[in-house]
A and B are shown apart, each in its own frame.
Chain A
Amino acid sequence: DAKTTQPTSMDCAEGRAANLPCNHSTISGNEYVYWYRQIHSQGPQYIIHGLKNNETNEMASLIITEDRKSSTLILPHATLRDTAVYYCIDKNTGNQFYFGTGTSLTVIP
């Protein structure tokens, strides 16, 4: 079962940064945090993952708090195509990815 909590929905103005929070207060030392997004009627798309250091790639930045109990996914300049459901997952070295209900992000023109 998913062990993360996220807000159900968020809005963001086009061109502004979208900051999506995730609480993973029960995360253990060897568990990574993963972020995915799912655009309607498509398969989920991997965005980024991290253990304890902040991470950045071409899609987004991931900020993990020092105690690792929460993280924030940052889309620096949101576009209309970023409208999707965003999932935060914590996963140990095992094989299972458990998805919660995610955050439905709407980018507003």
Chain B
Amino acid sequence: SQTIHQWPATLVQPVGSPLSLECTVEGTSNPNLYWYRQAAGRGLQLLFYSVGIGQISSEVPQNLSASRPQDRQFILSSKKLLLSDSGFYLCAWSVKGPSGAFFGQGTRLTVV
């Protein structure tokens, strides 16, 4: 069966520090991969999605970037965090075609 791993679960980082969040998927190949952010009390905002290695689409201009160095690995990064980067970051995967997306347990990031 397929599983998605996302870590860490919580993270507190100072303003201006770098960020790297990693997400890996097991049990499937060539998945679509997604990064979402959820600010406190708000809905989910799609940040990036990827249909394959090295293929990244950005949904909103921001202080973040994403990379997909391997088929089942998706990384969210920032060179310098801002206070507004605080939130709940979720990674998700789906197979190609009309199927649902399956989410990890998320990383709660607090920038101080």
Contact = CB atoms under 8 A, between A and B. Distances in A.
B interface, over-half SS: strand
Interface in A86-108: 87, 91, 93, 95-102
B33 to A, nearest CB: 10
A43 interface: yes
A interface, over-half SS: loop
Contact of B90 (A43, A95, A100): A43
Contact of A100 (B32, B36, B43): B43
Nearest to A85: B43
A106 to B, nearest CB: 16
Contacts, number: 57
A24 interface: no
11 contacts: A2-B43, A32-B98, A41-B108, A44-B44, A49-B100, A87-B43, A95-B57, A96-B59, A98-B46, A99-B45, A101-B42
Interface of B: 32, 34, 36, 42-46, 49, 51, 57, 59, 88, 90, 92, 94, 97-106, 108
Interface of A: 2, 32, 34, 36, 38, 41-46, 49, 51, 87, 91, 93, 95-102
